[in-house]
Amino acid sequence: MKAMYAYRLRMIIWIFYDFIILFVQYYLWNAIFSSSGGSLMDISLSQYLSYVAFGLVFSRLVSSDIDGEIAQEIKNGTIAMHLLKPYSYFGAMTAQRVGYTVGQAIALIPVTLTILFLVDIPPLSPFLLGATLVSMLLTYALVTVLQFILGILAFWLTNYWGLFLFKQNIIALFSGELIALNLLFRLGRSGIPNFPVPWIPEGVMQNIFLGLGWISYLLPFQAMAYTPSGIFTGMIQGPWPVLGHVALQIFWLMALSGLASHTWKRAQRHITILGG
Amino acid sequence: MIRFFRIYSAFFKQQVKSLIEYKLDFAAGMVALGFQQVASFLVLFAVFSQIQAIGSYSFDEMLLFFGWAQLMKGFDHVYNDNIWTVGWWRIRDGSFSQFLIRPLGIVSQIVMERLQFDGLGEFLIGLLIFIYAFIRTGLRFSFGDWLVFGYFFLCGLVIYFALKLLGASVAFWTISSGELMTVTYEIGSFTRYPLDMYKSAIIRSLLIYVLPFALVTWVPMVWFIREPQFIADILGIPWARGSALLGFTGGLTLILLGLSVGTWKAGLRRYNATGT
């Protein structure tokens, strides 16, 4: 935490940026929805706005830069110092990440308060509130494990910047951050009333959207963003879909943890052989 | 000037050699950036599959802004990417000093040291979208129109250049200003959408006067597809019509350039004085 507030200027810049994103998204979706008569594919403006706004807060809350940090430590060799000490590297990184999150949460207060004024808060039953909390915790764990894996990949990759870009863009599309996943399915299933590009067959476009939806569910990223904000804002409706999404998160957490410990073992062998 | 281009071409040859050497890095960067644009394009498509127009803009007109914004960003990304290193680490690790001992302008050295071929993907996709939208909207350019077009293109490049230089200059005082540059740069992406969608005087003023990305993307395109009165109304400057708007754009561009060069020079003096 102290390390974080040492960079106060940095924090102020990010808070400012979050505000800009929030307002830009607010006006953008307002313009879009008002051009379509208030609702888009049965989703109302206030529901979509709350999805976008809380999606922003949730994603900031679970974000961290431990992947970059691990990659850095691998590149300059300081990781060897950690290995000499009697604690798990993963544990140390997680502890560091939790500290970062506390700072992050404090920095998010102004934006969150603004959101509470700006958008309608979805009605929440105790079940949904509980599911959101559980889902948030799972998301947090999932992001931690994923970032750990990505960081370790620096052992084998030279162009970490390329991976970073790749990660950002793939996650943006397949996690539901750019567009809610249920919209992809609705687009694919319902006919497209207005076809903006006349020379692409409608069926092809519908299949692209459906395909994107399915790929999203085959990849772990939707479990790291869409699930908590989707449950919270009612984009995921009904008790069974909610439980199903949470179960999927648990599955991904186990799968990725397995992958992480496997990669870590191989990476450790790599260090021991090459001497860092 | 001739000397500049002679040295630049020598650097250019080296760049191409390294490009051929590291094909995979190049491909990864291009794919990642291309992916980002395909994703935002899909979102635009999804929205327009439900509605005819956002505000007063048709899909093809939106594509015009979208393509132009990517094209400008990509062009700047290719030739002027190295300045980021000043903002991120060159001051901190002291490698900035190497520029001071060579007999060539510092900014020239920074520009020619690295070409970022990753940006080519952005540029080409932007160009394709732009040409498509240009044909679909039925635009016809006279010789005079091409001159105006070229003028806007130059102003846009200068604005990008000046904003990045200004952002990097801040590092002379704060050691590192990568975050500031990132946030500035990201805010530019909001002008992929027309300025009048943001029904907020604060956001509009920000994008016109503080970080004038609206002059990079919105003004040049809307100039060709809307009446002068409409543009002046959105800008909130009644006199900025026709050639006065051209003057306004150029004037603001020059002021920004002056400001950023001034800050850069002041920063350099500071750097020289303390030697840190």
Mean pLDDT (chain B, rounded): 86
Q: What is the mean pLDDT of residues B183-190?
A: 88
| pLDDT over 90 (residue B256) | yes
| ipTM of predicted assembly, 2 dp | 0.82
CA distance B37 to chain A (A): 9
pLDDT of residue A41: 79
Higher pLDDT, B7 or B216: B216
Of B28, B50, B197, the CB nearest to A194: B50
The pLDDT, as a whole number, for residue B209 is 94
> Do B162 and B260 touch, CB atoms closer than 8 A?
yes
The pLDDT of residue A276 is above 50: no
Is the pLDDT reported for residue A6 higher than 70?
no
Per residue in B188-225, pLDDT (tens digit) is 888 888 998 888 889 999 999 999 999 999 999 999 99
Tell me: the pLDDT tens digits for A168-184?
Answer: 778 888 888 888 888 88
Nearest-neighbour CA in chain A from B31: distance (Å): 8
- The answer to whether the CB of A177 falls within 8 A of the CB of A55 is yes
Residue A62 near residue A120, CB atoms below 8 Å:
no
Which residues from B are below 8 Å from A10, CB to CB? Answer: 179
Across the range B74-78, mean pLDDT stands at 91
Q: Note whether B36 contacts A169, CB cutoff 8 Å.
A: yes
CB atoms within 10 A of CB A192: 18
- Taking the CA of residue A159 and the nearest CA in chain B, the distance in Å comes to 6
The per-residue pLDDT of chain A, averaged, comes to: 84
Q: What is the pLDDT of residues A71-98, one digit of tens each?
A: 888 777 788 788 777 788 888 888 888 8
Distance CA B96, CA B45 (A): 44
Residues above pLDDT 70, as percent of chain A: 92
Q: Nearest C-alpha of chain B: how many angstroms from A18?
A: 10
The values of phi and psi at residue A195, to 5°, are -105, 110
Residues in chain A with CB shorter than 8 Å from the CB of B29 are 159, 161-162, 165
Contacts of A15 in chain B (CB under 8 A): none
- Would you kindly state where each structural domain of chain B is located, as residue ranges? 2-274
Q: Tell which wins on pLDDT, B97 or B157.
A: B157
Q: What are the extents of the domains in chain A? A: 2-274
Nearest-CB residue to A31 (from B22, B28, B54)? B54
Contact between A178 and B43 under an 8 Å Cβ cutoff? The reply is yes
| Residue B69 to residue B198: CA distance in whole angstroms | 17
The shortest CB-CB distance from B51 to any of A35, A163, A173 is to: A35
Residue of A nearest to B57 (CA): A35
